[in-house]
Structure 1
Amino acid sequence: MEHRGVTVWFTGLSGAGKTTISHALAERLKAAGCKLEILDGDIVRTNLTKGLGFSKEDRDENIRRIGFVSHLLTRNGVIVFVSAISPYREIREEVRQRIGDFVEIFVNAPLEECERRDVKGLYQRARAGEIKGFTGIDDPYEAPTNPEVECRTDLEELEESIEKVMKKLTELGYITP
């Protein structure tokens, strides 16, 4: 499969399905011969952005750093999947402008569904006041206003979400089957 560099930014609440979709799609594209890297928010926070907290300023800096690495990879012909909550619209737009070849995927599931899926118990801890500034509970999530793709993971199967993203990447000329 032919491809060119692009950052595919999966954004949504914790538990919406960002990692599930990005990893499943990455397997498919790698098997087809694409150069692809995944920058998962949880993994990035333990390595690249260790030491940053969860204030708005720190969250924005986290996204800027992920965006910087994504830009380097993208301009070198790599498909980059970023799977990060990235709750604020303004910083997502800033990163989009910096990278250029950027496709935003809104992984959308209702808060109640995300809470139901939460195997780590983070939402429960946030509701109990043990975690402060938790996105969707006591910190906002600003949904994209015009994403290239919206995956409604409460209403569609994983394969449908994967196909929607594949179709958009093909339409935009980033992959050629």
Structure 2
Amino acid sequence: MTIEATSKAFAIWLTGLPASGKSTIAAALKPKLEEIGPVEVLESDAVRRMLTPHPTYSVAERDLFYRSLAFMGARLVAHGVTVIFDATGNRRAYRDFARSLIPQFIEVAVECPLELAMQRDYKGTYQRGQQGESSTVPGLQDPYEAPAHPEVAIDATALSANDAARKVLEVVKEKLAQRGIVWVIFA
């Protein structure tokens, strides 16, 4: 599968602990990115419900899930759709695999202390982990491997979702300019 270098489409992977703010940033990014073309948010919980309706979150299942997610994203980008991965992707290998499939790839580290993520957790992920109902919560029982060299690092304690989105958009603008595509970002 080859992705045309002149295409405006690319992929952004928002990675961070569960409840770090990835979905909120994705929601702020999407309408701005739609100014240059179609955008699809691949939200891991929604995709997982389709691929593994009764998830176990085992290593083998996660490996398959994240490879499938990366493949879906690569297919969309190949067809001119910009993709926002809204997914923890707790292992670097998952994100590196996506990068290997999608040359126009931007990794965004959403940095958030575990304590703050636990306070923000409206889904109850950490609570289930602490109560023993789940044994594979990234950041608790399962390691979260932060990106070694993300294109963008977002301090979730200091930036609003809109400010975080603006920071990502500046990198997008630079990457597009490298490909000869000029994009004026409107406030």
Shared fold per TM-score greater than 0.5: yes
> Taking structure 1 as reference, are residues 175 and 123 closer, same or farther at Cα in structure 2, changes over 3 Å only?
farther
CA displacement 1:24-58 (0-9 Å, x = unmatched): 1102222x252111100010011134355311221
CA displacement 1:75-108 (0-9 Å, x = unmatched): 1111101101100012211221122211101111
Unaligned runs of 5+ in 1: none
CA displacement 1:118-171 (0-9 Å, x = unmatched): 112221221121111111110000000100001111111222101110000000
Residue of 103, 108, 120 corresponding to 2:106: 103
Aligned position for 2:23: 19
Aligned ranges 1:52-63 → 2 under 5 Å = 52-63=55-66
How far apart, in 2, do the equivalents of 1:74 and 1:48 lie? 20
Does the CA-based 8 Å contact 2:8-2:36 persist in structure 1? Answer: no
Unaligned runs of 5+ in 2: 1-6
Q: What amino acid does structure 2 have at the position aligned with 1:40?
A: E
How far apart, in 2, do the equivalents of 1:171 and 1:153 lie? 22
How far apart, in 2, do the equivalents of 1:140 and 1:117 lie? 19
Q: What amino acid does structure 2 have at the position aligned with 1:176?
A: W
How far apart, in 1, do the equivalents of 2:124 and 2:72 lie? 30
1:28 aligns with 2:32: yes
Matched pairs, number: 174
Does the CA-based 8 Å contact 2:15-2:88 persist in structure 1? Answer: yes
Identity of matched residues, %: 34
How far apart, in 1, do the equivalents of 2:66 and 2:123 lie? 23
CA RMSD of aligned residues (A): 1.6
